[in-house]
Amino acid sequence: MEIELWWLLALPLFFGLGWLAARIDIRHLVRESRSLPRSYFAGLNFLLNEQPDRAIDSFIEATSKDPQTAELQFALGNLFRRRGETDRAIQIHQALAAREDVRPEQRLAARLELGLDFLKAGLLDRAEDVFISLRGSALDTDALHHLLDIYQQEKEWLKAIDIARALPETESHRAQKDIAQFLCELATQALAQSRLADARTQLEEALSTHRKCVRALMLLGDAAAADQKWEEAIEHWQRIEQQNPVYLALVAARLADAYRRLGRERQGITLLKSYLERHASLDLLDVVFKEELDAEGPSGALTLVREELRRNPTLLGLDKLLEAQMQTLPPEARTDSDLMKNIIHAHTRRVARYRCDSCGFKARQFHWRCPACGGWETYPPKRTEEFDLTP
């Protein structure tokens, strides 16, 4: 391979340019470091030595000597908020927001951080005022999200609906799901106050906003049942199978009760059995087991559980099998079965929990909204043992 002569001439030039750029960077770094207060470097040293309290004191001294260090004040304010010292965080961000020598975007950022300080301190009204003042600014979307969180905490569902509808189009799918849930919350309040017409209106609006809102179908069935319109209630609840069959377990007991009130108890049990065969569910098995136990006695319930265990072997199913078996045994023969049932029941308590699909938080009770991450419809009504069985 031949080396061109001009390459040999260019190499020293490249080295020279690199050396010159390095010298410029070093001079710039030295100039910057000399402009910083000594307390700033003392604070860094304390951080490296794992002395956060002394580091904070040094940084505070640095900001007092050089008020131009806005970024350092932001960092301090956020650090105080994370440490739970919201009073100090509020003071810093209020001072930043009031300064006239900072850039407009920094002043907006300081107001946003101030709102977060108020949220952390539980001062929701003051946080709301701050975020409302940011509407229409460059931080409008951030303000909308925080306002939405506040209104959900305060259960101000009408305000939450207005804010969700103002979110950007890129978030319209999530907003539709949330709005449908807010309308369901309003409908739940209306049902509790026997305002059935209002509840139906809100639920129909929820379905038109998000057509796959299972909760709206469930509550429409509840509204019909409250009006003793059992056939209509059954129709609403049966539609859940087309929407999302995993939620059938939540209405199984209501379906059984509606058929019982119509004098068609056996038909209701047959329907629930068919659901169980098509959509295996431990909660659904629990309802069908109780209904079969009441209707056919221990032998019928035992047959039901045996068939289900062959299809879906689970500890919770085995617990039901032992419960049915014990009722067919004479009292003197129940000692060993009772011991086994207690041992298995203790183990099933660990797997008989619901789990959030979004954050993984587990709870014994079903929630429409996750208590940990605040997500709606992230809690499928499936026990953790069923997640392990799902392919």
In the DSSP assignment, the letter for residue 380 is -
Q: Which of 242, 258, 172 is nearest to 209 (CA)?
A: 172
Burial of 335: CB neighbours in 10 Å, binned 0-12, 13-18, 19+: exposed
Residue 213 marked as a ligand binder: no
3-state secondary structure of 363: strand
Residue 359 marked as a ligand binder: yes
Residue 184 marked as a ligand binder: no
Other Cβ atoms less than 10 A from the Cβ of 117: the count is 27
CB neighbours of 238 closer than 8 A, spacing ≥ 6? Answer: 255, 271
Burial 248-278 (b: 16+ CB within 10 A, else e): bbbbbbbbbbbbbeeeebeebbebbbebbee
What's the rounded Cα separation, in Å, for the pair 326 and 322? 6
What's the rounded Cα separation, in Å, for the pair 300 and 324? 9
What is the secondary structure of 255-316 as a DSSP string? Answer: HHHHHHHTT-HHHHHHHHHHHHHHS--HHHHHHHHHHHHHHHHHHHHHHHHHHHHHHS--HH
Place of tokens 């309040």: 189
Residue 373 marked as a ligand binder: yes
3-state secondary structure of 369: strand
Residues annotated within a binding site for Fe cation: 356, 359, 370, 373
Q: What residues are designated binding site?
A: 356, 359, 370, 373
